[in-house]
Structure 1
Amino acid sequence: MVFERRLLTRDRGAGVLEKLWLIPWSFVLLLCAVAAVGYVALYSAGGGAAEPYASRHALRFGFCLVMMLSIAMIDIRLIAKLSWAGWLFGMGLLVLVAVHGQVGKGAQRWIELGPIQLQPSELMKIMLVLALAHWFHRASWERVGNPLFLIPPVVAALIPVGLILKQPNLGTGLITLMVGGAIFWAAGVRWWKFAILIGAAAGIAPIAYEHLHDYQRARIQTFLDPESDPLGAGYNIIQSKIALGSGGIWGKGFLQGTQGHLNFLPEKQTDFIFTMLAEEFGLVGAMSTLALLALVVGFALLVALRCRHQYGRLVAIGLGVNFFLYVFVNIAMVTGSIPVGGVPLPLISHGGSAMLTTMLGFGLLMSVWVHRNAEFSATRD
């Protein structure tokens, strides 16, 4: 539209109302639809009642929606300037967790901030995306090819990953590492460097396996043979597969799922929320949910393609990969394709930290879209 192009050409001086016009409201409606699926699933997980899961989910989403729209109005160049400050803030929270974090289910991953229980590893993924995007956004192709230039961003990625693994939180740590790797790849790091790292990782995998915690090794062994301990370590995934298969094409009907409502299905409000959806709404409901989530990832890719500055492109790719990995890992986990881990389904599972950081990321993504024609300083040598 002519009006939109006029606003974009004078992006620096655009007012609040003009920026509101540029917000992709269809994407906002898409997020509302995904959150509504979560509300329905959590209503069922609560035994056909809004309490204790669905009502909190709605309140959190409402608050985070306002936060997301507020962040979308912030000039992306200001966000770029604060990228490394955000990384330092995330690092501070990870150190705070290591010193004074709450211990739950054998892991030290949370901190109390007044009425809010925050998992800093979730926030750190977002801060890492911003920091790496800032490092690479003005780097030339030749500069990216220099191994010495890559040392600072590699260190910036490995330090938080190490702290997350120490909690221990293997799933989030690996996702954080892969999100960082996606930024390196999108910035133009040569493929052979990735090949060397992957080969080295494969070489040390047997050694790393011996240093895993007992419950982590048990998850891998259960993944390979869940029937070896059907009432112990293999119970969760066996019940998940039963629920997925019993839903059939159309499902058993809303509030009619037996595995969930008879409490055979574990963690039905968090890790296994997709299984509950599939049991009650069948293959059709499961695929419809996946289609909505795929559209979210597709929007992130669209933002990356339409953005005219490298910082915004890298941020959009990093946030899109982060969201995709969470969806992929959760779905693969509940279907038995990978070992079970504590990874929620974004905007659908019950949980405050995941909701907060997911919507924070979408606020940044929308800021990139609103300011996709913003002018940054020239490329450095």
Structure 2
Amino acid sequence: MTADSAQAAPAAPAAVWKIRFSTLLWAGLLLLLVGSLPVLVGASWLILPVLLLAAAVLALPVAWMHRQQRRRHAWLRGCGAIFCLLCGALAMPVYYLAIATEARPAIVPTVTLTNGPRTLVLQGMQHVAMERFYKSVVYDLEQALADGYVLAYEGVARSDPQSDSWFDSTLGGGHDLGDNYRQLGKICGLGYQIDYMGPLVADAKARPQRHVTIDVDTRAMKQQYDGLMASDAAFAAAMQRRQRQAAKDSADDSADLWARVIEWQKSGSPGQVALAGTLCRGIMTELMRRANSHHVSEPLDAVVLDMRNRHLASALMADTRQKIYVTYGAAHLPGVIALLQQQPGWQLQSVKWMRTIAAPDAVSGTL
């Protein structure tokens, strides 16, 4: 081997590495653009010319900064790069929410407690969820009936006009809560809990002794609310802020905006409906996960959760039936379980988790 051949190969020139880096950069930008097109075109093709115009304007400073170097096509290259980045920035949140919904799903528990002679099953519910979840719950409830359980349900009863009006305005935004849940379900591509309970409603009519509603009525909730307003200064201040914000939202036509969003979603193209559903499911999943992980509390929890948790736990302890299967909002379960475990002899037997949010099944075929 000669001395010359033993020498190391010279490093690649800086210009070659610059070309390679530029090629990879443009390849990445083009992939970002291609990946964003299904989302942007699905929403509206008008988004693309708007973003292109914005990119053209934003590229002007880029061209101005390179005027001294007299680089050819500096504005055109800057416009193309910024256009790709804008498209990606607008589409990536949609992809993030879609992936997060699948990778970190919203879940609710089914908890079984026993003291030996008696067994309680508490099924966490979500008022708006995917069809598969509700069908699974209904199957479990039908099986529970076959096994001799009594089914107990959540459901705030109507009482007098004044209390009912307070309930609708304070907790339902001036509308029936059921209608709100059903509208949200349509936007998200999900279902509303009550719409899947038909078989159980039929069984309740035929065998009412196997079904019971354990909840308070609107009068009891209003009395609790009024009592806290009179005795708890922090609660009263929080409610006053809430009322001011509601009045501000009403003055800003936020309710009309929400109505317009619903109408747009109803009349939108298939792509727009699918996009709205993806965003809605992703946001719901994130909100539920954060609420469950951080145990976020709201001032109204003293009325909506705590009071009803105490009522449910007391009713279950006073009931003498050996097997009771409870379906209640998942947010109630931690508080109710804690209250039940304070009673002598009651122990946690098992916990099962169920997924509540996913994209609707899309299957088709030919006959």
Same fold (TM over 0.5): no
Q: Per residue, is there more helix in 1 or in 2? A: 1
TM-score by length of 1: 0.30
Q: Which has the higher contact order (CA 8 A, sep 6+)?
A: 2
